Amino acid sequence: MYDYLIVGSGLFGAVFAHEMKQAGKSCLVLERRPHVGGNVYCEEKEGIHIHTYGAHIFHTSDKKVWNYVNQFVEFNNYVNSPVANYKGELYNLPFNMNTFAKMWGIVTPAEAAAKIAAQREAAGITEPKNLEEQAISLIGTDIYTKLIKGYTEKQWGRSCTDLPPFIIKRLPVRYTFDNNYFNDRYQGIPMGGYNVLIEGLLDGIEVRTGVDFLKDRNAYAAMAKTIVYTGPIDEYFGYQLGRLEYRGLRFETKRLEEENHQGVAVMNYTDRETPYTRIIEHKHFEFGTQPVTYVTKEYPADWQPGEEAYYPVNNEQNQALYAQYQKLAAGETGVLFGGRLAEYKYYDMDDVIASALSAVGGIL
Ligand code: FDA
């Protein structure tokens, strides 16, 4: 009899298992994919770590979490500085002085601020009725048209005039020449890839891959005192109240016989016509010098039940349904629900690690 049966070997499950092992508890981890690591898993090809489930950049302001992950792997000094490609015109992101200088040929922060203020005023929007009006009222027409509109419409599969204004609450604008996308204190990519982190966490813990807990749940449940479930909450309850919705993604990865394809890890395609939103060139996450490269085009997609669940659609209807599932979950004795799928929540990696540590802290 194990103390814990942990369903899912993503960051939540792996951190939970590691901490419980440290506390002297016995754990069995079940993972239905053929590999461990959940969405941070990378496939290695010719020395390049391919982010199989989407680009993952570790960033945090939580020193405890930063020190925690650094116990298992050293992080490199990668700083995410994506470039936007609008019909062949290149702009630095996030919106900063480099972006404004390229867009308007201005030189000083005051000139940039005046340009944005003039465009906001000219639009004359006082009460934004949709996402388009909201974005223009925050940042003006040029940046909205070239850098926000097409990208957002592709991401959501809907026109910005049909999307609610609250999706964009604020738009970070920097009046400095700083292309660092994140504001966090710590940032980087694990040296040797994310698998090193996961393997460190799961070291010495019994793991069975290719095993779906839900296919034989009674037999597995009988093997442990407590279950930690990190899969989709609606699936756990057999979708008895209905399905929670997700936004899907489709990845198209190619090997290219060239050393450097786009000169940056992340290039966003911000026009409406290009069907993908981003091209990821994986080697640049780790300053790779291989003679070949691997690039992934990322296509946002409508999600169908049974497909890989990427982003939860946290609208009112889904949140209400999730709240009902939460009530069912509260009635399940001996089961702890955690992680992005069980909590139907977008978690960054640092947040999911903090959440797993706090779940352990609440027990020990
Ligand atoms: P995760 O999904 O990783 O793990 C759950 C595991 O449970 C899966 O391996 C699954 O197969 C398994 N499972 C489910 N049901 C099961 C069952 N019945 N039986 C057995 N196993 C089962 N964060 C960040 O900080 N920086 C970034 O750049 C990004 N980028 C990013 C891109 C994209 C496209 C997405 C969708 C997400 C990000 N993230 C991110 C977020 C990051 O992926 C997230 O924080 C972690 O993957 C969450 O870890 P979990 O353990 O909660 O879930």
Residue ranges covered by each domain of the chain: 2-77+185-245+311-363, 94-167, 246-302
Choose which residue among 340, 355, 358 to substitute to test ligand 1 binding: the one with the highest number of ligand atoms within 8 A of its C-beta. Answer: 340
80 CA from centroid of ligand 1 (Å): 20
β-strands 89-92, 246-256: how paired? unpaired
Could you give the ipTM of this predicted complex?
0.99
Alpha-helix residue ranges (DSSP H) falling in the chain: 11-22, 63-70, 97-104, 109-123, 131-139, 141-143, 150-156, 194-202, 217-221, 233-236, 316-330, 349-363
Choose which residue among 349, 350, 351 to substitute to test ligand 1 binding: the one with the highest number of ligand atoms within 8 A of its C-beta. Answer: 349
Looking from the CA of residue 215, the nearest atom of ligand 1 is 18
Q: Is the CB of 356 under 6 A from ligand 1?
A: no
The verdict on whether 340 is a catalytic residue reads no
Structure tokens at 159: 């026109």
pTM for the predicted model, two decimal places: 0.97
Per residue of the chain (364 residues), give pLDDT as tens.
999 999 999 999 999 999 999 999 999 999 999 999 999 999 999 999 999 999 999 999 999 999 999 999 999 999 999 999 999 999 999 999 999 999 999 999 999 999 999 999 999 999 999 999 999 999 999 999 999 999 999 998 999 999 999 888 888 899 999 999 999 999 999 999 999 999 999 999 999 999 999 999 999 999 999 999 999 999 999 999 999 999 999 999 999 999 999 999 999 999 999 999 999 999 999 999 999 999 999 999 989 988 999 999 988 999 999 999 999 999 999 999 999 999 999 999 999 999 999 999 999 9
Length of the chain in residues, anyone? 364
**Would you say domain 2-77+185-245+311-363 falls under CATH 3.40.50.720?**
yes
205 CA from centroid of ligand 1 (Å): 19
Main-chain phi, psi angles of 191, to 5 degrees? -75, 125
Sign of CA dihedral 139, 141, 146, 149: positive
